[in-house]
Amino acid sequence: MWWPLRSRRDRDRSSAGLRKLADACGVRLGCAVSARGLDADPAYRETLASAFNLVTPENALKFGPLRPTPDTFSFGEADAIVAFAQEQRMEVRGHTLLWHKMNPSWLKPENFTRGELAAVLERHIKRVVTHYKGVIRTWDVVNEAIGGTGTLRPSPWLEGLGPEYVTQAFRWAHEADPGARLFYNDYGADGLNRKSDAIHAFLEELVAENVPIHGVGLQMHVTLGSEPAKKDVAANMARFAELGLEVQVTEMDVACIGRPTRKMLRRQARVYEEMLEAVLGCDSATAFIVWGLTDAHSWIPYTFPGKGWPLLFDEEYQPKPAYWAVRDALASETRG
Ligand code: XIL
């Protein structure tokens, strides 16, 4: 039976159970958050802490927000998220040490020699990883480095440091915290396609060169109707696992085109369920993370006008069919 036919009492009881079910399955069930969201609304904090056992700062750890000037590290927002997580005994996943987007305006390759830019990146990575050592144990080190054609995409890092910036970034993160799990993270590479082939080949090389990389993040930003097939996602996870890598679904959302009908919500629920089943079915897959708490907190409508309603909770913090599907998938896993 689908929401909204369930009573409010059922919903409330079950909502508190989601996190417990995830714990019982040994899966990290995570959510991207902002410090503003945490500050603004008690319902945000309550829903977050009752449904998830992991948080990841949506933007607070990105280079731009952290580094307003070359000499400043503004840890305030990320520290607030970490403090909340510790209070609620939730894990924190670090996103991301390096990306081609959301960089500060002072970070222009032409402002630096190659050696200077390398020093900027090394200092950034080591300072940030050290600041959260022992607290953030998993990091996206490199985000979205591969473009649609399967080669390294243009970025200040590629332009200023050449292709070896990827390897260097992993080594510097590892030096700062040898115990941290270090990930490569990307979108559009969830199933089997040209991009996931290219990422697989790229990571295979890194592993062969003994670069300290431990995992791959499949972002799983999908649009309803063009989501990858479960069997392709499972096969993709399996081939990364064969490289000895851990796999995590790191940023899942399922965007609807136009305000969703009940049928669309059911279909969205099915996509969440299938992707979670792929995680639960893969021994090397350890996390399932959604990119925002409610449909009111999603980046999708701002970035892709006309699309939206992609998450587990609606604008009023009510669980959607997708929420129940996630819960059912966890419950059937617990029953074994
Ligand atoms: C997005 C955030 O959700 C937005 O708030 C921000 O304006 C842009 O970045 N892939 C990623 C994430 O790795 O960091 C992006 O997050 C979404 C796509």
For residue 151, report the distance from its CA to the centre of ligand 1, in Å. 21
Asked whether 248 lines ligand 1 (CB < 6 A), one says no
**Ligand 1, atom 7: closest residue by C-alpha:** 299
Q: Where in the sequence numbering do the catalytic residues fall?
A: 144, 251
**Ligand 1, atom 12: closest residue by C-alpha:** 58
pTM: 0.95
For residue 331, report the distance from its CA to the centre of ligand 1, in Å. 30
Asked whether 219 lines ligand 1 (CB < 6 A), one says yes
SS (H, E, C) 122-169: HHHHHHHHHHCCCCEEEEEEEECCECCCCCECCCHHHHHHCCCHHHHH
For residue 58, report the distance from its CA to the centre of ligand 1, in Å. 7
Asked whether 253 lines ligand 1 (CB < 6 A), one says no
User: For a pocket test of ligand 1, which of 251, 290, 293, 297 has the largest count of ligand atoms closer than 8 A to its C-beta?
Assistant: 251
Q: Going residue by residue through the chain (336 aa), what tens digit of pLDDT does each one get?
A: 333 444 444 444 455 589 999 999 999 999 999 999 999 999 999 999 999 999 999 999 999 999 999 999 999 999 999 999 999 999 999 999 999 999 999 999 999 999 999 999 999 999 999 999 999 999 999 999 999 889 999 999 999 999 999 999 999 999 999 999 999 999 999 999 999 999 999 999 999 999 999 999 999 999 999 999 999 999 999 999 999 999 999 999 999 999 999 999 999 999 999 999 999 999 999 999 999 999 999 999 999 999 999 999 999 999 999 999 999 999 998 876
DSSP conformation class of 101: S
Q: CA gyration radius for the chain?
A: 19
For residue 95, report the distance from its CA to the centre of ligand 1, in Å. 10
Q: Determine the Cα–Cα distance for residues 255 and 270; give it in Å rounded to an integer.
A: 13
Asked whether 304 lines ligand 1 (CB < 6 A), one says no
> Nearest-CA neighbor of 181 among 286, 63, 60?
286
